[in-house]
Amino acid sequence: MTLQGKTIVVTGASSGIGSEVARLARFHGARVIGMDRNDPMVSLDGFVRVDMADPASIDRAAGELPQKIDALVNCAGVSGLADRDVVARVNYLGLRHLTESLVGALKGGAVVNVASILGYDWPQRLDAHKALAATESFAQGADWLAANPVPQETCYQYFKEALIVWTKKRGYELFMQHDIRMNAVAPGPVMTPILGEFVQMLGEERVAADAANIKRPAIPDEIAPPVIFLCSDAARWVAGISLPVDGGIDALYT
């Protein structure tokens, strides 16, 4: 598997999974451009500062990217401790806005969205997620959410569910119309700087119950290789999937 000569854009490249994806992509020969609010902590071939909650910032940042991109990896995200509006903007609306703005540059390439195993209940809210996916812009999506408010306590899970549904629905269209392969990976707990926030978000009782059924949290370099695979030509016939990368948690709840 090689990414030699490919240009890959990674959001959230300054920490956690995004940082490890950027490092591994460069190891496999890619030219990597990071996007983040914060300064990068790894070597990159380019860096564009962006606020993924702000469509104007996203538009400006997209204009600084190359006209040909081989893969976009959407790693940027916030935990459910952030205000639900921020979670919606960063984890879904902003991610979608950036991706759609780069469709022309990505033709023949790949998109990988970092979802979560906490999005496993998406079939229970499929109609709502399809309705949100059908909105055509950041502003229209925000208006839909204003009319259909999401509870703060479950907003993280909700928007990861919504991301999985959008990845599947839009992924099919992008593959058929533009030869763009869009997929998601769905990690379980990962040892990143915001892991502690997830413990607070879910509650110690839930975390203790889950911990008894899994080996341990992942480390970022266990999530990055499947992401790199989905960016590579080896995954040229994989489109519209959500791949659990969770140490068996998805199997546990089946």
For 22-58, what is each residue's pLDDT tens digit?
999 999 999 999 999 999 999 999 999 999 999 999 9
Residues in Cβ contact with 211 at an 8 Å cutoff, skipping those fewer than 6 apart: none
Q: List the domain boundaries for the chain.
A: 7-252
Q: At what angle do helices 16-27 and 220-231 cross, to 10 degrees?
A: 50
For 127-158, what is each residue's pLDDT tens digit?
999 999 999 999 999 999 999 999 999 999 99
Output the CA torsion 38→42→46→51 (10° steps). Answer: -20
pLDDT band at 207 (very low <50, low <70, confident <90, very high): low
Right CATH number for 7-252 from 3.40.50.720, 3.40.190.10, 2.60.40.1180, 3.90.226.10?
3.40.50.720
pLDDT at 212: 76
User: Of 92, 120, 156, 158, which is the active-site residue?
Assistant: 156
Active site (annotated) includes residue 120: no
Q: At what angle do helices 126-133 and 138-147 cross, to 10 degrees?
A: 140
For 79-135, what is each residue's pLDDT tens digit?
999 999 999 999 999 999 999 999 999 999 999 999 999 999 999 999 999 999 999
- In three-state secondary structure terms, 5 is coil
Select from 150, 12, 168, 146 the least CA-distant residue to 80: 150
For 51-75, what is each residue's pLDDT tens digit?
999 999 999 999 999 999 999 999 9
